[in-house]
Structure 1
Amino acid sequence: MPKAYWIAHVTVTDADAYTNYTQAAPAAFQKYGARFLARGGKTEHLEGTSHPRNVVIEFDTMEQALACYHSPEYQEAKSHRKTAALADIMIVEGIE
């Protein structure tokens, strides 16, 4: 079964409010076995719309990644992000 990757491109618009998201989100990620492969860090933007913060999170399966996103824990965290950031988020199934 292939792994899945949660990919987020984020522009934080209110750093103080975004802290509420960053404090709440780890509970969901830990519960669903997420492994951060990239979080912030240096970025070389080559094409398309740029966001200053880019995150890649690995999950064992697509189902696990989707369960994390739709979980009550993550939805609670996400509610804090609504007014604090602009985000493009996708979950991509890896290849075997």
Structure 2
Amino acid sequence: MPAYWIAHVDVHDPQQYRNYTDLAPEAFRKYGAKFLARGGKSQTLEGPAFERNVVIEFPDFQAAIDCYNSAEYQLAKTKRIGHAVSQVTIVEGLQA
């Protein structure tokens, strides 16, 4: 069953945030991630709004968790801290 990484991000320093976006794809590739939405047009109907919204599909819940906890992603995350505010949720998808 697929799982989805749902991230909401406000970038405060785009140049420094690029250090994160340069490193993070390595972890996503390693764990079979497929981007379904990344930035682009959005409208928040309830709750706090973020400037960027990202949806990433993983083969299963464990792959999504393993990606987040991987050394590759944790290194990338250190480059994001202080330059962006993020909320990341992993949710299991529905059975087809």
Q: TM-score, normalised by structure 1?
A: 0.97
* Two-structure CA RMSD over aligned residues (Å): 0.5
> How many residues were matched structurally?
95
User: Could you give the per-residue CA deviations for residues 13-46 of structure 1, whole angstroms, max 9, x where no partner exists?
Assistant: 1111100000000000001010000000000111
User: Could you give the per-residue CA deviations for residues 32-91 of structure 1, whole angstroms, max 9, x where no partner exists?
Assistant: 010000000000111101001000000010000000000000000000000110000010
The percent identity for this pair of structures is 56
Which sections of structure 1, spanning at least 5 residues, go unmatched?
none
2: CA distance between counterparts of 1:29 and 1:84? 21
- The residue aligned with 2:2 is 3
- The residue aligned with 1:73 is 72
Q: Structure 1 residue runs of 4+, over 6 Å off?
A: none
2: CA distance between counterparts of 1:56 and 1:84? 20
2: CA distance between counterparts of 1:84 and 1:21? 9
Is 1:82 the counterpart of 2:78? The answer is: no
Q: Partner amino acid for 1:64?
A: A
Q: TM-score, normalised by structure 2?
A: 0.97
2: CA distance between counterparts of 1:90 and 1:78? 15
